[in-house]
Amino acid sequence: MTCIAFGHSDGDALAHAICDALLGAAALGDIGRHFPDTSPKWRNASSLLFLRHVRKLLDRAGYTIVNLDATIGLERPKLAPHIPRMTKRVAAALGVKPSQVSVKAKTSEGLGAIGRGEAIRADAIALLQLSRE
């Protein structure tokens, strides 16, 4: 799932992509359905709040998170030193172990809007298990 965030909330593209991946895997719609950018309730909201809310939606629908793989593409800042902390924060917000969350960063080697530092891209894929039928 690729997500481009326009910043109605805190604009955390990685968390938004993770939300979309989780919601999509459970066939629960997308981030715009649950957190519309027309709602003042979500203006400047923390995307960690979105992750916690998505976890509740998954719980209600009977899903558990098996694992999550996410990649963020940007030129700067270099994220390698921050990835362990990012992984822990995402895992905590979702109520899973850090070992169930993979966060990676990639550059575009100076190519395109991402390479010029004009954009950020985030992709995520999630594996869920239905714990009840």
Looking at residue 94, its amino acid is L
Q: Measured between alpha carbons, how far is 121 from 34 in angstroms, rounded to an integer?
A: 21
Q: Measured between alpha carbons, how far is 5 from 122 in angstroms, rounded to an integer?
A: 9
What tens digit of pLDDT does each residue of 40-57 get? 877 778 889 999 999 999
Q: What is the pTM of this model?
A: 0.86
CA 132 to chain centre: 25
Segments making up each domain of the chain, as ranges: 2-130
What tens digit of pLDDT does each residue of 69-82 get? 999 998 888 888 99
The answer to whether 70 and 123 have CB atoms below 8 angstroms apart is yes
Domain 2-130 class, CATH top level: alpha beta
Most distant CA atoms of the chain, gap in Å: 48
